[in-house]
């Protein structure tokens, strides 16, 4: 059986599973715990060759349709074991070829113009507020990597740590104007306004998010300090002393990296500072994950550091600081997954069983990928000239901090 051979090769180092095909035939792949082995049941015959040819897409799609069942463990357990054995290697040569073809086609046909960018954002963020209340932190509704100073911290505390860390890096001073590109549900903008005497403008392409932010700003009595606009970053004309973007750059598209950084250069004052917080890969530029691209983030791309540096240099920006956050997002995603599973019945009522399986697969796969594969979070601090930041750069970030 093709897929049994593939899994046996993956698990030849550590762990293993029992695979049961659609005819009930059992295969021992690797060295599973035979008393209570993690078991994968394939309920359709054609999965034998589909999973061997394009596992990155066909496995999650089959799981969504109820054609794959996991016993004696969770989907996260399976992805963790698989990705721990794979590391940053491809699953197999066939999947690698398919992914490269899809990546090439995606690059050729991807034009994230404002209209298409808005449509892509709406696909993910305008599914209804109920979805995100099922798993995000209650205080700030942060849909990005938290910052765990201690392993046993709550999600709420870790997200507050993240916001505090970003605010430190922005080196904010009273009266400065700040732009938040891709402001989400306004958590960072509100926190900047609360902690400083700055004026904050948040922009997003999600109508749901902007409507939420405007109502929330009045509720918090911060509408005199914070404003929100439904607009594309390319439409911004105003000048700002500080800027930040958290979790939005992944939606920009590689063809528009130069456009993005040139816009940052244009809208920042000469003494301006911009902080970019983005998911990234530690590998060379490569193919996007086809399941995430198709079902979760259409138009989304995870940049390598080398993808970022050339357009930053072309825009005449200076990389003043770069921090790589490792083993923070896998913890964040694991907590999101646990909260989502706890609310699975409500999610199924709101969105249907196939959506629930898709979302479970998305959160599980991403958590395992951040833990064992090539994914990290980059925080890049960008300035227009050397005088824009204190000479003791790291001191002002970490002094009197929680670290």
Active site residues: 366
State the Cα–Cα distance between residues 54 and 15, nearest whole angstrom: 23
Q: Let me know if 262 is exposed, middle or buried by CB neighbors in 10 A (0-12, 13-18, 19+).
A: middle
Find tokens 């300090």 and name the residue: 225
Helical pair 75-86 and 353-372, crossing angle rounded to 10 deg: 30
Inter-residue contact 146 to 155 (CB < 8 Å): yes
Find tokens 């799609």 and name the residue: 61
Q: Which residues of 29-54 are buried (b: 16+ CB within 10 A; e: fewer)?
A: bbebeeeebbbbbbeeeebeebbbeb
Sign of the Cα pseudo-torsion (87, 92, 94, 95, in order): negative
DSSP run (H or E) holding 97 = helix 93-109
Q: Which residues touch 133 (CB under 8 Å, ≥6 apart)? A: 141
**Nearest C-alpha neighbor of 360 from the set 389, 337, 381:** 337
The residues with which 69 forms a beta bridge, in sequence order, are 41
Count CB neighbours of 273 within 10 A: 25
Q: Which residues of 223-238 are buried (b: 16+ CB within 10 A; e: fewer)?
A: bebbbbbbbbbeebee
> Residues in the chain, how many?
403
- By 3-state DSSP, what share of the chain in percent is helix, strand and coil, each rounded to 5? 50, 20, 35
State the Cα–Cα distance between residues 51 and 29, nearest whole angstrom: 15
State the Cα–Cα distance between residues 247 and 277, nearest whole angstrom: 6
Q: Which residues touch 364 (CB under 8 Å, ≥6 apart)? A: 74, 75, 76, 79, 337
């Amino acid at each position: 059986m093709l897929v049994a051979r593939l899994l046996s090769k993956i698990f030849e180092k550590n762990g293993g599973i029992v695979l049961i095909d659609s005819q009930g035939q059992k295969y021992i792949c690797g060295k599973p715990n035979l008393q209570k082995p993690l078991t994968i049941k394939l309920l359709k015959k054609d999965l034998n060759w589909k999973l061997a040819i394009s596992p990155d897409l066909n496995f999650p799609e089959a799981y969504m349709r109820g054609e794959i069942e996991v016993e004696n463990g969770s989907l996260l357990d399976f992805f963790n074991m698989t990705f721990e054995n794979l590391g940053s290697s491809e699953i197999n040569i066939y999947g690698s070829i398919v992914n490269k073809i899809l990546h090439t086609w995606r690059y050729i046909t991807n034009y994230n113009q404002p209209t298409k960018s808005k449509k892509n954002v709406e696909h993910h963020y305008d599914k209804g507020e109920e979805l995100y209340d099922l798993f995000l932190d209650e205080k700030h509704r942060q849909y990005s990597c938290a910052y765990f100073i201690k392993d046993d911290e709550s999600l709420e505390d870790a997200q507050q740590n993240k916001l505090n860390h970003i605010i430190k890096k922005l080196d904010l001073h009273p009266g400065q104007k700040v732009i938040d590109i891709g402001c989400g549900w306004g958590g960072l903008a509100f926190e900047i306004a609360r902690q400083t005497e700055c004026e904050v403008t948040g922009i997003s392409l999600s109508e749901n998010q902007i409507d939420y932010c405007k109502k929330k700003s009045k509720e918090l009595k911060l509408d005199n300090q914070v404003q929100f606009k439904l607009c594309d970053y390319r439409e911004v004309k105003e000048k700002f002393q500080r800027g930040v973007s958290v979790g939005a750059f992944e939606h920009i598209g590689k063809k528009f990296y130069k456009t993005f950084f040139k816009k940052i250069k244009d809208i920042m004052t000469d003494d301006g500072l911009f902080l970019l917080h983005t998911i990234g890969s530690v590998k060379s530029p490569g193919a996007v994950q086809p399941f995430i691209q198709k079902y979760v983030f259409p138009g989304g791309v995870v940049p390598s550091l080398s993808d970022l540096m050339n357009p930053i240099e072309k825009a005449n920006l200076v990389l003043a600081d770069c921090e790589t956050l490792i083993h923070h997002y896998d913890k964040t995603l694991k907590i999101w997954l646990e909260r989502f599973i706890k609310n699975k019945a409500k999610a199924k009522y709101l969105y249907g069983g196939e959506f629930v399986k898709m979302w479970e697969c998305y959160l599980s796969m991403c958590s395992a990928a951040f833990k064992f594969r090539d994914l990290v979070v980059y925080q890049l601090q960008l300035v227009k000239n050397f005088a824009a930041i204190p000479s003791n750069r790291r001191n002002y970030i970490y002094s009197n901090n929680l670290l």
